[in-house]
Amino acid sequence: MSEAPVEKSPSYWRLVAREFMRRKLSVAALIGVSGFILVALFAPWLANDAPIVLVRDGRVYFPSTFTYPELRSIDWAYYMDNLPEGQWALMPPVPISPYRDDIFNTLRPPSREHPMGTDDVGRDVLSRMIWGSRISLSVGFVAVGIAVVLGVIFGSIAGYFGGMVDIIISRIIEIVICFPMFFLLLTIIALVARVNIYYLMFAIGIVGWTGVARLVRGEFLKLREQEFAVAARALGAPATRVMFRHILPNAIAPVLVSATFGVAGAILTESGLSFLGFGVPPPTASWGSILSLARQYVYQAWWLTAFPGAAIFLSILCYNLIGEGLRDAVDPRLKV
Amino acid sequence: MTSNGTVVEVRGLKKHYPVRQGVFSRVAGSVRAVDGVSFSIARGRTFGLVGESGCGKTTCARAALRLVEPTEGDIFINGTNILSLSGKHLRRARRGFQIIFQDPYASLNPRMTVGAIIGEGLKVHRMASRRERRRRVTELLERVGLSAGAAGRYPHEFSGGQRQRIGIARALALSPAFLVCDEPVSALDVSISAQIINLLKDLQEETQMSYLFISHDLNLVEYICDEVAVMYLGRIVEQAHAEVIYERAMHPYTRALLAANPLPDPEKRREKILLGGAVPNPASPPQGCHFHPRCDAADEACRLQYPKLVEIGGGHLVACHMVDQKSKTSQ
């Protein structure tokens, strides 16, 4: 028998993508989020007082990318102001490190030199915003990633096996959601001696898995009795295969939608924690920590409030718009 | 058991669902969906199971394949009691018995390509390499009357009849000895349904599979089955060779079913039997013969005791006091 050329039809996700692309606002939001992500990824080359490229004594260095033993003792801010003759350097667009303070230029309004002004110790706000986006966005992704993984595992086990397993997992979920999320987070943070950003991601993830778990459990309860799942069992497929190959792909769409909203929620939670002073430890910048500082200078320095506030607002708006577009695109009434 | 050509033997199969009530989920009773059903199917033969909705046909079939766990009974397929198997052994044994479903829209995973669906069994049992699998899928697709190009498409691109063919190909992939057809054509229109039935018949001739064929369409059952059992409220009330059922049905319920069956010939007339009342609640079936509240011939004995399923000659089994008495008096 000759092997006929097998033509492949567009898969479900291809169709979802097509449907999503028809929603202009959501596409705009996706572009916006991509912009934020690019800024976060390229922060070292966007805001740094070390040059991107430095030609020195006939050698080419990339000081903002790698560290060099022979350049370790250099104070870049001073070095660049007095660049020796015959050397050449390409500076990042924002040539100021987020940590460089300047006591002669505290709380300066936006200017050519500092497009978003400076804070109470003279650090450049734009530079801190750029580096802060790394914290804010990665908290969103990692925390939601942890929440989704935990939620999918517990939810699918509870929904697929039912009975005693389901009762135990459901009760655990109910116990966790009894506590206000912030209270639980503050407790976890209080238990850890030295808070760093990873604890924060982990804590937000651990607290947030219940919603996903309940969603997945419900989908599994509904889908496990569907004939295609019964058929897979009749073929002799092991439970894990039925769960993860047959049921999960049919249950994942609502999870993805809720995860998108979850990213927005996690960013807000991190900002809230930083605002209260329980977030990333100084001098690390995050949008929330800049905002927290602004609290003391609301009447003197509007720029400390406006820029991080706008960044938080915009990124959350974008994630919510993406979530909404995705929710419409994966609508079960979609012809699939 | 295989010596006399019996592939499937089901004995005293029961499936009871507990009915729970109150705060503490006390078991208040049980729905006897399947209540002591026995039958056997020879190699290459088709056993039909008919009855109205909710009489336990589908539960019976699924319990016979252990897709729902039976409460009681023995199921021998190819000589092994599949109720004694568990875990990996049961999964391995599943190669020998497959099922095709009623609803061709729900029985195919919408996220998998047709090729992946049909090749699933081969993959699960590691029966073929990737290349071989692709070749087998092409073969199977052509065998059930679809083009080989269908393998890369998704189920939603096919019509009901085509989907049912995909379902058949999936079951065939494992070359089972026993195939349960759970109302395979009741969701399809008449002309498509005839094609599917003929496909099933051809396949049986080729492979000598045994079929358990579930349907509520009596004409269809007569056409495809060798032996037919009529179920009412979880029990078989009459069982005989297909022709016998159609010509000499003894049980009043079977006769009522036959009378309700539309005849293709508009000139033909036959006696009408109208059943009074509705099917009783299966959680609390009437005492005695389950059918007596709707039966014209019922008397005192019917109200008190459930009639035994007795043979009245030629493999014709009936569970009815009236028939029992008649056959006794005639002897």
Contact yes or no for A209/A201 (Cβ under 8 A): no
Query: For residue A208, what pLDDT is reported?
Result: 85
In A189-248, the residues whose Cβ lies within 8 Å of chain B are: 226-228, 230-238, 241, 246
Is the pLDDT at B1 greater than 70, yes or no? no
What are the tokens at A243? Answer: 């769960």
CA distance A249 to A223: 11
Distance from CA of B188 to the nearest CA of A (A): 17
Which of B112, B114, B178, B180 to mutate: most A Cβ within 10 Å? B112
Residue B213 Cα to chain centre, angstroms? 4
Across A119-123, A158-162, B5-9, the highest mean pLDDT is recorded for: A158-162
Distance from CA of B96 to the nearest CA of A (A): 9
Query: For residue A6, what pLDDT is reported?
Result: 53
CA distance A146 to A163: 26
Query: For residue A30, what pLDDT is reported?
Result: 93
Contact yes or no for A330/A259 (Cβ under 8 A): no
Q: B154 contacts in A (CB within 8 Å)?
A: 9, 11-12, 336
Query: For residue B324, what pLDDT is reported?
Result: 67
Q: Which of B62, B125, B138 sits opposite A4 (nearest CB)?
A: B138
Contact yes or no for B58/B259 (Cβ under 8 A): no
The reply to whether residue A6 touches residue B156, judged by beta carbons under 8 angstroms, is no
The reply to whether residue B149 touches residue A246, judged by beta carbons under 8 angstroms, is no
pLDDT tens per residue, range B244-268: 888 888 888 888 888 887 776 767 6
What are the tokens at A87? Answer: 């050397």
Mean predicted confidence (pLDDT) in A170-174:
93
Among residues B273, B312, B319, which one has the least CA distance to residue B296? B273
Among residues A78, A89, A92, which one has the least CA distance to residue A56? A89
Q: B106 contacts in A (CB within 8 Å)?
A: 226-228
Is the pLDDT at B190 greater than 90, yes or no? no
Query: For residue B327, what pLDDT is reported?
Result: 63
Q: Which residues on neighbouring strands pair with residue A318, listed in sequence order?
A: none
The reply to whether residue B98 touches residue A235, judged by beta carbons under 8 angstroms, is yes
ipTM (interface predicted TM): 0.85
Query: For residue B4, what pLDDT is reported?
Result: 56
pLDDT tens per residue, range A20-61: 888 889 999 999 999 999 998 988 888 888 778 888 877 888
Cα dihedral B132, B134, B138, B143 in deg (nearest 10)? 50
Q: Which of B91, B103, B148 sits opposite A238 (nearest CB)?
A: B91
Contact yes or no for A55/A89 (Cβ under 8 A): yes
Residue B229: CA count within 13 A, CB half-sphere: 27
Query: For residue A305, what pLDDT is reported?
Result: 87
Report pTM. 0.81
The reply to whether residue B149 touches residue A7, judged by beta carbons under 8 angstroms, is yes
The reply to whether residue A230 touches residue B110, judged by beta carbons under 8 angstroms, is no
Which of B111, B127, B138, B212 to mutate: most A Cβ within 10 Å? B111
Contact yes or no for A197/A143 (Cβ under 8 A): no
Q: What angle do CA B150, B152, B154 make, to 5 degrees?
A: 80
Q: B115 contacts in A (CB within 8 Å)?
A: 6
Q: In the predicted model, what is the mean pLDDT of chain A? A: 84
Is the pLDDT at A146 greater than 90, yes or no? yes
CA distance B114 to B98: 18
In B114-153, the residues whose Cβ lies within 8 Å of chain A are: 115, 120-121, 124-125, 134-135, 138-139, 142, 147-149, 151-153
Among residues A89, A65, A69, A70, which one has the least CA distance to residue A79? A89
The reply to whether residue B109 touches residue A232, judged by beta carbons under 8 angstroms, is yes
Give yes or no for B85 touching A (CB within 8 A): no
pLDDT tens per residue, range B200-236: 999 999 999 999 999 888 888 888 899 999 998 888 8
What are the tokens at B313? Answer: 């000659």
Where in chain A are the domains?
A: 49-105, 125-329
What are the tokens at A15? Answer: 């169709």
Buried b (16+ CB within 10 A) or exposed e, A19-55: bbeebeebeebbebbeebbebbeebebbbbbbbbebe
Give yes or no for B67 touching A (CB within 8 A): yes
The reply to whether residue A236 touches residue B121, judged by beta carbons under 8 angstroms, is yes
Which residue on chain A is closest to B87 by alpha carbon?
A238
Task: Write the Ramachandran bin of B315: left for phi over 0, alpha for psi from -120 to 50, otherwise beta.
Answer: left
Mean predicted confidence (pLDDT) in A156-160:
93
Contact yes or no for B62/B240 (Cβ under 8 A): no
Place of tokens 């850890």: A192
What are the tokens at B324? Answer: 């029992």
Contact yes or no for A106/A113 (Cβ under 8 A): no
Q: Between these two residues, A157 and B274, which has the higher pLDDT value?
A: A157
The reply to whether residue A1 touches residue B139, judged by beta carbons under 8 angstroms, is yes
Amino acid at B69: E
The reply to whether residue B91 touches residue A237, judged by beta carbons under 8 angstroms, is yes
Q: Which of B67, B153, B157 sits opposite A234 (nearest CB)?
A: B67
Q: Which of A235, A246, A336 sits opposite B156 (nearest CB)?
A: A336
Mean predicted confidence (pLDDT) in B104-128:
90
The reply to whether residue A1 touches residue B101, judged by beta carbons under 8 angstroms, is no
CA distance B104 to A113: 68
Mean predicted confidence (pLDDT) in B157-170:
91
* Helix axis angle, A248-275 to A181-191, nearest 10°: 70
Confidence band, pLDDT 50/70/90 cuts, at residue B330: low
Helix (H, G, I), strand (E, B) or coil at B230: strand
Buried b (16+ CB within 10 A) or exposed e, B285-308: bbebbbbbbbbeebeeebeeebbe
E strands present in chain B: 6-21, 26-42, 46-50, 72-77, 80-81, 97-100, 178-182, 210-215, 227-232, 235-241, 310-311, 317-318
What are the tokens at B97? Answer: 């018995």
Gyration radius from chain B CA atoms: 21
CA distance A48 to A77: 10
Distance from CA of B229 to the nearest CA of A (A): 24
pLDDT tens per residue, range B100-111: 998 888 899 988
Mean predicted confidence (pLDDT) in B143-159:
88
Which numeric CATH code is attached to A125-329? 1.10.3720.10
Which of A1, A2, A3, A6 to mutate: most B Cβ within 10 Å? A6
